[in-house]
Amino acid sequence: MTVERETWRALGTGVHVLVTDGDIAAATAAVRAVLSEVDLAYSRFRPDSELSLINADGGRTRRISPLLADAIATSLRAAVVTDGRVDPTVGRAMRAVGYDDDFDRIRSRTDPISIRLEPIPGWQAIQFDSRARTLGVPKGVEIDLGSIGKALASDLAAAAALEAMGGGGVLVSLGGDIAMAGDIPEGGWRILVAEDSDTPPDSDGEVIALHDGAIATSSTTVRTWRRGEIALHHLIDPLTGVPVDSPWRTASVVAATCVDANTAATAAIVRGASAPEWLAGFGLAARLVGTAGDVHRLGSWPAASEAA
């Protein structure tokens, strides 16, 4: 089986489409179309996105697009299964800690920030009817679909690419959130487990093979910035409304879908010390990296194997 790839940037992150025995052009076109729709539906940094318009005009219930409805349902399910550790109502808290723009611009700001601790409204504040496809967001509540939205985009893009190819196999990585569909290369899709998704895949490090499902990684070591003397990152603890202080700096999880993998990875960091027990309860294969760099392989995660 031959593997072809296309790489570009979209939604502020790296996109990789790999195809085995399929039409790479068709797959790429399908992925681009999905990402374009995602950008328009729920980008937080695009003022004319459907979600941005809703966040700017809270307090009323409106009918939303099928894609945004899918994303909202996905984020609410993530909130339920993580006992609120992954919560879509962190939008205002994200802005409060300075994450309110394209990340390159955020990183360039170094002046001191005044952090205003604000209550996280909690996902229960959202009024969502999946059948009527209506969404009600109270005034002052801002939804941020964050990494769950990115993982959903990976799942949708992989499915769309396979359908466009009409056969073969495809892997889609959107900022390290990896979904696959269709046939698998001999030996599986080989994944370098890194903390930064921009790490070249031929770098030294731990490599595992996936034969189905998906993998996602959350980390407090990437998308970090400083404002004055304060070091900040993008993983908000819904209990406090500020970046989480966790014993884990990075969590990688293998699950049936990229959404599930991302949900579990993010929740693991937010949960902290109780993460191993929580992950074990779902029988998930996971790899946690402690703040000192100590690596913990959980469930069916394979023993370490270094890249050639």
Partner 1 sequence: MKSAHRLTAAERDRAIVRLRELTIGAAVASVVATAGLASVAAASNAGSTDSSGATTAAVTGSTSGSSTTTTPAATATPSTTSSGVTSPTTTPTTTSGNAHVSTGSS
Site for partner 1 in 267-306 (CB under 8 A): 272, 281-285, 300-303, 305-306
List the one residue from 6, 230, 247, 276 that touches partner 1 (CB under 8 A). Answer: 230
Is residue 105 within the footprint of partner 1 (CB under 8 A)?
A: no
| Rounded Cα distance, 168 and 154, in Å | 18
Considering the complex, state which of residue 46 and residue 227 has its C-beta at the smaller distance from partner 1: 227
| Strand, coil or helix: 9 | strand
User: Which region, judged by CB under 8 A, interacts with partner 1, from 13-21, 30-38, 48-56, 59-67?
Assistant: 13-21
Question: Of 184, 173, 280, nearest to 217 (Cα)?
Answer: 173
User: Which region, judged by CB under 8 A, interacts with partner 1, from 23-31, 42-50, 55-63, 257-265?
Assistant: 257-265
| Strand, coil or helix: 256 | coil
| Rounded Cα distance, 260 and 279, in Å | 12
Handedness of CA 44, 253, 87, 127 (dihedral sign): positive
Considering the complex, state which of residue 57 and residue 118 has its C-beta at the smaller distance from partner 1: 118
List the one residue from 143, 151, 191, 270 that touches partner 1 (CB under 8 A). Answer: 191
Write b or e for each residue in 63-97: b if 16 or more Cβ atoms lie within 10 A of its Cβ, otherwise e.
ebeebbbbbbebbbbbbeebebbbbbbbbbbbbbb
- C-alpha distances in Å from residue 261, one per residue of 2, 216, 279: 27, 5, 11
Is residue 10 within the footprint of partner 1 (CB under 8 A)?
A: no
Is residue 28 within the footprint of partner 1 (CB under 8 A)?
A: no
Residue list 75-104, contact with partner 1 (CB under 8 A): 76-77, 79-81, 83-84, 87
User: Which region, judged by CB under 8 A, interacts with partner 1, from 30-38, 40-48, 50-58, 72-80?
Assistant: 72-80
- Whether the CB-CB separation of 249 and 243 falls below 8 Å is answered with no
List the one residue from 238, 275, 288, 298 that touches partner 1 (CB under 8 A). Answer: 238
DSSP-derived letter for residue 38 is H
First to last CA, the chain: 21
State the nearest-atom distance from the C-beta of 59 to partner 1, in Å.
Answer: 18
User: Which region, judged by CB under 8 A, interacts with partner 1, from 21-29, 45-53, 55-63, 261-269?
Assistant: 261-269
Residue list 140-179, contact with partner 1 (CB under 8 A): 150, 155, 159, 169, 171, 173, 175-178
